[in-house]
Amino acid sequence: SQQGEEDPQALSIQEGENATMNCSYKTSINNLQWYRQNSGRGLVHLILIRSNEREKHSGRLRVTLDTSKKSSSLLITASRAADTASYFCATESQGGSEKLVFGKGTKLTVNP
């Protein structure tokens, strides 16, 4: 079963606006990762945040993690049309397994 659940399922914004996507999960984790998938392509890793971190930045991306609420958010600032894609969170559970469990994703459309 899917552990990560993204919210919203779909998001449509104008270029220049910020986009925020949320992810909730159920079990204790080692880390949480965000991936991006363009239509018809494989997933691309964006950013990883460890369970002992609360916030991380990479370029226009900002990720937060709240382990007490078992939730994470991905913020894309100053969005561009090229950011149009589906975004997935993936969790690596504690216990030594390197399995990632992916959510069903948020489909982001950035209108020019």
Partner 1 sequence: DAGVIQSPRHEVTEMGQEVTLRCKPISGHNSLFWYRQTMMRGLELLIYFNNNVPIDDSGMPEDRFSAKMPNASFSTLKIQPSEPRDSAVYFCASSFRGGRNEQFFGPGTRLTVL
Where do contacts with partner 1 occur on this chain (CB under 8 A)?
A: 2, 31, 33, 35, 41-45, 48, 88, 92, 97-105
Place of tokens 């561009």: 80
- In angstroms, give the least distance from the CB of 40 to partner 1: 8
Which residues is 15 bridged to in the sheet? none
* Distance in Å, CB of 37 to partner 1, minimum: 8
Please say which residue, 98 or 112, places its beta carbon nearer to partner 1: 98
CB nearer to partner 1: pick between 45 and 54: 45
- Nearest 10 degrees: CA dihedral of 11, 91, 61, 47? -140
User: Which residue number, 13 or 101, has a Cβ lying nearer to partner 1?
Assistant: 101
CB of 92 to partner 1, least distance (A): 6
Q: What are the residues whose beta carbons fall under 8 Å from the beta carbon of 88, sequence distance 6 or more?
A: 4, 6, 34, 35, 36, 37, 43, 102, 103, 104, 105, 106
